[in-house]
Amino acid sequence: MYQWLLRFALLSASTALRPQHPLNQGFAALDTTDVYSLHRKLVEIPSISDSEHAIGEFLASHLRAQNFNVEKHPVRPFYSLKDDEKHQQRFNLLAYPSSSSSNGTRVLLTAHLDTVPPFIPYSYNSTTHQISGRGSVDAKACIAAQVTAAISLLQSGAVAPSSLSLLYVVGEELGGDGMRAFNSIPHPAYETVIFGEPTDLKLASGHKGNLAFTVTAIGKGGHSGYPWLGENANSMLLPALLALDHLPLPNSKKYGNTTLNIGKMVGGEASNVIASSAYADIQVRIAGGEPEVSQSLIVDGVKEVDERLRVHFWSQGYGPVNIDHDVEGFETMTVNYGTDIPWLDGDHKRYLFGPGSILDAHSDHEHLSLQDLAEAVEGYKKLILAALGR
């Protein structure tokens, strides 16, 4: 029962990874400590969105050592850079067993390499058996478990080398620019894609849609001692934000209420200067209807407060996403966060599964248990075999 704990305790005695055995035609032996060692190394490497180069290089090297062919597909920097700034190239990784090609792949396993800021170092609590650190849940646990599951099935001969591929993308936390870039790369028409995100080891039956926008106010600056000579942009913006906070938006029985989060506000120059401009960045989790419905309600709600306010939607957004959940032996749930699922083109079955809780992701206490990580390996193996009709 506690064999996985004993193995992890031995692993934790050293900060270095245990030597890996390259796969050959019979595929090298592997045990459960591989998922812990790989997970640890992934979490130890900072990979905040738009800075995924180092983790991409590590994972590419790791997969090559396991006898995978690895393709690195460049993705443009998300943020514009000054001429004197250097940017290490970010890229998506597509990997498949070296004894096969990616052309006939039926099943794709995928997760994202990037994390939200700030970087939090890896740590392990030997009393609670919890692993902590940025990305320990979202989504490096998924990467480690998927890779370990794939190698285990290949090593045992349970699946053919030509049947599966691995895809690890950048930029999921920035709106999915990595997955969208992958669409431009020639790849098979996959039958099944298994996405990795924290789902408490349940199959997600769907997730809410997503819509992001900015509200901007342009005022007139001046000396704060003479406020009647200017127009305070902060004072223009605040009533609109209050109205948005109470704006009725679509709902549904499956996903509940659409929620709106005023995540960031910036305004003014100094306390003794009339604010000449102000803006707020806002995220909407859509529970019902197409994004155009929510867009129209938002614009009308803002303009009703002040016609001069500008509303800019970052993208078209998307409505609620229904996901396949027909594999027996899993509990199911809906989730309120967004994923790369809507950004991957193709007519394929879609599963969403992973260890850890989204309630811990993005937080200063992000963590998951050793047992969840071990069970995720078995969960991914079960999903792969079900996708292949085994």
Alpha-carbon distance of 63 to 109, in angstroms, equals 14
Q: Quick check: 24 pLDDT over 50?
A: no
Task: Summarize pLDDT for 286-298 with one digit per residue, the tens.
Answer: 999 999 999 999 9
Q: Say what the pTM is.
A: 0.88
pLDDT at 32: 52
Q: How confident is the model at residue 88 (pLDDT cuts 50, 70, 90)?
A: confident
pLDDT digits (tens, 9 = 90+) for 42-52: 999 999 999 99
Contact between 261 and 208 (Cβ < 8 Å): no
Buried b (16+ CB within 10 A) or exposed e, 343-370: bbeeebbbbbbbbbbbebbeeeebbbeb
Q: How many CA atoms lie within 13 A of 140 on its CB side?
A: 32
Give the span between the Cα atoms of 111 and 94, in whole angstroms: 11
The predicted model gives 176-202 an average pLDDT of 96
Which residues carry out catalysis? 172
Q: Which element (helix H / strand E) includes 238?
A: helix 233-245
Mean of per-residue pLDDT scores for the chain: 91
Reported as a single tens digit per residue, the pLDDT across 124-153 is 999 999 999 999 999 999 999 999 999 999
